[in-house]
Amino acid sequence: MQTRNLQGPWSMAFRYTAIAFSLFYLYAAGIGLVSTELHRGLYLLFNLALGFMIYPLVRKKGGGTKVPFYDLVLIGLTILSFGYWILEYKNYVTRAMMPNDFDFWFGIIAIILLFEITRRVLGNVLLIIGLVFFLQLYFGPYLPGNLAHSGFSIERIVEFNYSSMEGIFGVITQTFATYVLPFIILGAFFEKSGAGDFFIKLAVSLTKGWSGGPAKVAVIASGVFGSISGSSVANVVSTGAFTIPMMKRVGFKPHVAGAIEAAASTGGQFLPPVMGAGAFLLATLTETSYTQIALMNVIPALLYFYWVGSAVHFEAKRYNIMGLPENEIPDFWITLKSGWFFFAPLALIVIVLVLGFSPALAAFWAIISTIVLSWINKNTRMGVKEVLDALEIGGKNNLSVGASIGMLGIIMGGMVLAGLGAKFSSLVVSLSGGIVLISIALVAFVGALIGMGATQTATYLIVAMITVPGMIALGIDKVTAHIIAFWFSAISNVTPPVCVSAFAAASIAKADPMKTGFTGVKYSLLLFILPFTFVYFPEILLQGSIGEIIYAVISFAIAIPILAAGIQGFLIRDLTILQRAALLIAGIMMFIPTFWTDLIGIVVVLVVYFIQKNVSKPVSLDVN
């Protein structure tokens, strides 16, 4: 969505509002005790006020340079409706189920404002989904089959969503205000301190002699930066601006370069210690510590990046794409010396989480340490201006997810009030015929469908509400079911027809968006495979003995390059159709980590390898 290019006093108003937004929630994360209603209410108030300032009513080039009068009116109504809720919440208990006129009309205004900000920032799809869940509360008696219910009055619907902490101001708002926003701000501090540039340069310094070096830089840098940024699209824009031109320069086709960056950036959402915004919501909904959720995702995330790197390697070998010239690759030790201290904030996050403190506190101290440590190198020192810039960027970057939070609260409110969880559960069980494999495939389908018009976090929440109860009914562990929904919520980032990360990468690569999207499916193939393994081989989620975990990891680690070679059509030379089919079958068999399937898979690979080796002189297989 096109944003306004605010100028003069309007730009300053936005800047200091965003700075105040970030400062308040950093204070809440690390220092202050803030009332629940103030904490949740101000989060939505700031999001809407900033959103109406920068996102225009209609799409148009440039979006204007000032905030028009009608948006000032909307900002005023935002302050009134959400300010009223903050001030009056403590009095609601005396009139529960009996809202007064002010409660009702300010609730109506708040709900309308949330629909409008969702439309402006995220488009119509999430808006329509929210409307469906909102209106079904009133039209319950007219719904088909098992979805029907007795219906609720408009007063009760507004009260439940606005006056209580069950809808708009519920657990979703609490999770994002408490955990997600501080990490988004941390990402902004990494950007302004030069930590992001350091990690990219460090990745480049490792690629000396690597085939397709810049593409492997994209895999490494996007993994590290994507974990912190909290958004795959933000990751594409940040790291892709550097890696995509490099990939094109050494010989990758534009749509391939865009697809590699999109796939790698999407994986950042699963990589601990930070992961994406949805991971905090996952921990909240499952009542599981964030540390445990992060640990459970370590192996799958590393396997995902191993897959992207393997696919890149065989692509580069097939087309003989080399790395950057040696004189353009910085020295590893000199690069490390220039910014080694930026590893400290990441280590600090891990230490704080392991000690049992909250993720919010971990983010707070990581930000403080980033500011302090930036002074070690005179080129990275953060002064007052840089700190204020980072605070502004953090508040602004939150809008891409923050604009959806109130709408997600309305959707969840519609689910809870109508009791749709149990109904969707029976629907999933019915459609799958009670077969777990089919139920997981349904989750993938729902994730791809919903994700076409919603952020990954919004997609995860909706997919979780619709499908997780059904998976649990079929015997899948609750946390595992949510992790499956979380992974499948990322499919739409790289899957046409609407693949936001691939489209963002295509714009940088100057490539065809749909071609980039379809190619992105190939490089993110493990998004479609790994969630199935979570149920059948939970060892990779650290559920099993040490021996079982090690065996499963080794099996998958061997399977991934085999499958990548089959997908890319190259091992030590171009594969014939039969050889390619043999490697694909062998790779898939080894994703079933048993002795016999692994043995058969390895034998097939060895046969193909020796056939290729003896047919003609092989191309040198660079294991880097």
| The amino acid at 134 | F
30 lies in some domain = no
Residue pair 360/30 in contact (Cβ under 8 Å)? The answer is yes
564 lies in some domain = yes
590 lies in some domain = yes
588 lies in some domain = yes
CA dihedral in degrees (281, 285, 287, 289; nearest 10)?
-20
Task: Tell me 330's DSSP state.
Answer: P
CB neighbourhood size of 610 (10 A): 10
> What are the CB-based long-range contacts (under 8 Å, 24+) for 71-75?
74/48, 74/113, 74/116, 75/48, 75/49
Quote the domain boundaries for residue 620: 544-624
What is the sign, positive or negative, of the torsion defined by CA atoms of 258, 461, 399, 53? positive
> With bands split at pLDDT 50, 70 and 90, how would you rate the model's confidence at 98?
confident
Per-residue burial over 519-545, b if 16 or more Cβ lie within 10 Å, else e, is bbbbbbbbbbbbbbbbbebbbbbeeee
Kindly list the distances between the CA atom of residue 469 and the CA atoms of 172, 421, 475, in Å, as whole numbers in the listed order.
Answer: 18, 7, 10
**Low-confidence winner among 56-65, 397-406, 542-551 (lowest mean pLDDT):** 56-65
> With bands split at pLDDT 50, 70 and 90, how would you rate the model's confidence at 251?
confident
Strands (E), 103-246: none
Kindly list the distances between the CA atom of residue 321 and the CA atoms of 18, 248, 249, in Å, as whole numbers in the listed order.
Answer: 44, 10, 10
Q: Can you tell me the distance from the alpha carbon of 115 to that of 296, in angstroms, rounded to the nearest whole number?
A: 35
Instruction: Kindly report the three-state secondary structure assignment for every residue of 224-271.
Output: HHHHHHCCHHHHHHHHHHHHHHHHHHHCCCHHHHHHHHHHHHHHHHHC
Residue 56's SS3 state is coil
404 lies in some domain = no
Domain count, the chain: 1
Which strand (E) or helix (H) includes residue 85? helix 69-92
587 lies in some domain = yes
| The amino acid at 349 | I
**Amino acid 61: pLDDT:** 58
520 lies in some domain = no
The pTM for the full model equals 0.83
pLDDT in tens, 461-495: 888 888 999 999 999 999 999 999 999 988 877 87
**Nearest residue to 270 via CA among 330, 208, 224:** 224
pLDDT at position 619 over 50:
no
As given in the structure block, the two tokens for residue 586 are 């062998």
458 lies in some domain = no
Q: Which of the pair, 112 or 98, is modelled with greater confidence? A: 112
**Amino acid 607: pLDDT:** 93
**Nearest residue to 534 via CA among 491, 583, 476:** 476
Mean pLDDT across 198-224: 80
**Amino acid 296: pLDDT:** 93
